[in-house]
Amino acid sequence: MKKSSGADIAKKLGVSRTRGLEAVIKAGMIDAVMKVVNKEGVTHAELAARSGLPRSAVTGILSGSLQKVTLDRILKLVEAAGLTAEVKVKRVA
């Protein structure tokens, strides 16, 4: 399956490229957390306790609800799953 770029997502959703890129970044981090959840059997309640987020927020985020979800909250889940996030910035070709 081909990965979608921020520009692709933006065009499909009718939003700015920035918002499209943000959605791609958030989805990638959530996907990484989900892999840990599935592989290690970590529950939403455990992630909530580790991250300091309400369990309902964890469940909402991991079910794909990105509306009004900040990068800060997703980064808390990344850390709670024992992961770290890296950002790479490069010149546009």
Q: What is the pLDDT of residues 58-88, one digit of tens each?
A: 999 999 877 779 999 999 999 999 999 998 8
CATH 1.10.760 matches 27-80: no
Q: What is the pLDDT of residues 2-28, one digit of tens each?
A: 566 667 777 777 878 888 888 888 989
Listed by start position, the domains of the chain span: 27-80
33, 83 Cβ separation under 8 angstroms: yes
Rounded to whole angstroms, the Cα distance separating 28 from 22 reads 10
**Residue 81: per-residue pLDDT:** 96
Buried b (16+ CB within 10 A) or exposed e, 23-61: bbebbebbebbbebbeeeebebebbbebbebeeebbebb
93 vs 35 pLDDT, higher one: 35
Q: pTM of the full predicted structure? A: 0.82
Q: What is the pLDDT of residues 24-71, one digit of tens each?
A: 889 899 999 999 999 999 999 999 999 999 999 999 999 987 777 999
**Residue 3: per-residue pLDDT:** 65
Neighbours of 80 (CB within 10 A): 20
